[in-house]
Chain A
């Protein structure tokens, strides 16, 4: 169980516009764009930063090894510690939490943390389908892996067939309010979502995330820096990570033990007993639409097998929902993989700072950021609030 230690604040957030190809900048230029925006938001310069913690997707995803080596000068950390975090798709979240731990543990006062990806330079599905000698090569990327798990959720929850389409349509509508989102499809209709081709049955093309280039950064600070900030900061109320193996007897792959344990821990730290009523905005890692109801249940926002009802009755939408989920448009609207988890954490912070612009949830005081990765094996979560914990 985590202990909060030093009170930690999100002082600044910086994002790039997410899009399919950023042909105008190198990876160094891309990460600097996000980092400089976070520094500006935090009213900091490179000299104010004590350490840098970065994360990216697995190496084969973009053929980039040791980013901590080649990005050290681009991130202004010559003469400072730089760390790189690896936890597959959840990396953006766990990177933020490693950075937070350096503040919580009173090692550093201000830490820059950043996640990035340039999917345009690579092919993630190729990287997830590497053959192994002596084996039958039928791995079909992330969709091939998660499709059976979704199928099982549908079977055991009795959810109507179009719940996933409803999530996808909602998140694409939300994305229209977020200028950083990759997919802006103002003319998209629900029927188009439903009629999209099946890729990994039961996952339609419209229910998958795009491939994006982009970076997201945050400046985290200790209590004194948070107190001294001119503008609103987000205070960290809870941080938790868990992991588990991806295949073992008795595993509930729909609702992994590690996910449940992580949620119990993070809400306990934040003093939250009823997440649905006490959390005002959720940024959840939903790369395939059906994961919204699945995680709603796993995280305790909904009873088992009933998360889909929250989708169906509009509870997770920005217009009138009591628990808006992925107001930014979520992973379904922008997916620079190595950054996607951090975007969830950063968007949660923006909500409680009142700085989410057109996708702001009115009066949001506490928000939840979530990321998962691997075969739903790695979990990273935080609760942030407008008030000091």
Chain B
């Protein structure tokens, strides 16, 4: 993505990482999920008769397995509560609501769920509540809409007489989807900001170590080998060599635009002492070699932005190869700490 500076001149971007993970429930949690789908709430009973709701697989005190499943009531009492206003993004509830530990009749532990009332004034510890169900249920905790005060007629949409999304003869719930979504406000570091802005002018910057002169690209603002700040920026050539490469025959998640096979390579720019990843194209894939000399192929000037994506790929220059034993990271002569070397 191309960077657009914010009001302080900083590049920033929205970064969303999300994936629809699954969770296998196993038989005990599966029974709880199956119960929800069927409009019932079940717990697990340990040997002393106490009932955990939601059902748990393991006795937290003894470590023993708990396998006996028992149904409990859909009514219970609020043990403690808080008020949520407004609900967070991704919450099952759109309106302000109570969030309570509700001990259902027949259970010895409370479960956490929403209480659907108008205001915090309608909430009270010790208040009796009853479950409200969704009409369409799939075997998920949100099949239970929440709880409402008992006997007030608000629980019209009870499980009795409502449609289930699935038939009772369906198999037990064995897994659930648990999508995870993380939203980042991605702000590159100060050194990376300078690096990315330079790309807009078709310049590639590195960062020189004050200790041994090693040039890092992308710049990090630090010399990671010696643990010191590195503030000196160095402009690097648009030519270099292939330190190493992979011919990939599999599509990359999220890069449907990239036809396979493609060559990703560690590009070692002239003047830099480490490589970075880039695509190699403009030649037969079979011709790509360790040590092959390459140059940057840039986007058209009118499409340039503050992003490393300005370099579309790297193409062969046709110059003689760097010898294999001098290619890549191994080209660095390992100078003693503190020794300042001249420009490469």
Is B21 within 8 A of A152, CB to CB?
no
Is A23 within 8 A of B250, CB to CB?
no
B17 at the interface (CB under 8 A from A): yes
CB contacts (< 8 Å) of B265 on chain A: these are 148
Question: Binary interface profile of A, 36-76, with partner B (CB < 8 Å = 1, else 0)?
Answer: 00000000001000000000000010111000000011111
A245 at the interface (CB under 8 A from B): yes
Q: Which B residue sits closest to A128, measured CB to CB?
A: B253
Interface stretch of the complex, out of B94-102, B131-139, B140-148, B239-247: B239-247
Interface of A: prevailing SS? loop
Contact A118-B274, Cβ < 8 Å, known A133-B13, A198-B249, A201-B247: no
B329 at the interface (CB under 8 A from A): yes
B338 at the interface (CB under 8 A from A): no
Is B308 within 8 A of A136, CB to CB?
yes
Contact A198-B247, Cβ < 8 Å, known A63-B21, A74-B57: yes
CB contacts (< 8 Å) of A121 on chain B: these are 21-24, 175
Count of inter-chain pairs, beta carbons less than 8 A: 195
Q: Nearest Cβ distance between residue B57 and chain A, in whole angstroms?
A: 5
Q: Nearest Cβ distance between residue B31 and chain A, in whole angstroms?
A: 12
Is B274 within 8 A of A247, CB to CB?
yes
CB contacts (< 8 Å) of B19 on chain A: these are 60, 63, 122-123, 126-127
- Measured in the bound complex, the distance between the Cα atoms of B255 and A27 in whole Å is 31
Is B279 within 8 A of A138, CB to CB?
yes
Contact A148-B24, Cβ < 8 Å, known A23-B174, A29-B57: no
Is A28 within 8 A of B57, CB to CB?
yes
Is B279 within 8 A of A136, CB to CB?
yes
- Measured in the bound complex, the distance between the Cα atoms of B56 and A78 in whole Å is 15
Is A248 within 8 A of B244, CB to CB?
no
Is A249 within 8 A of B214, CB to CB?
yes
A24 at the interface (CB under 8 A from B): yes
A192 at the interface (CB under 8 A from B): no
Is B3 within 8 A of A133, CB to CB?
yes
CB contacts (< 8 Å) of B253 on chain A: these are 123, 125-126, 129
Is B249 within 8 A of A151, CB to CB?
no
- Measured in the bound complex, the distance between the Cα atoms of B13 and A29 in whole Å is 41
Is A78 within 8 A of B61, CB to CB?
yes
Q: Which B residue sits closest to A25, measured CB to CB?
A: B26
- Measured in the bound complex, the distance between the Cα atoms of B188 and A366 in whole Å is 50
Contact A134-B57, Cβ < 8 Å, known A23-B175, A155-B324, A200-B250: no
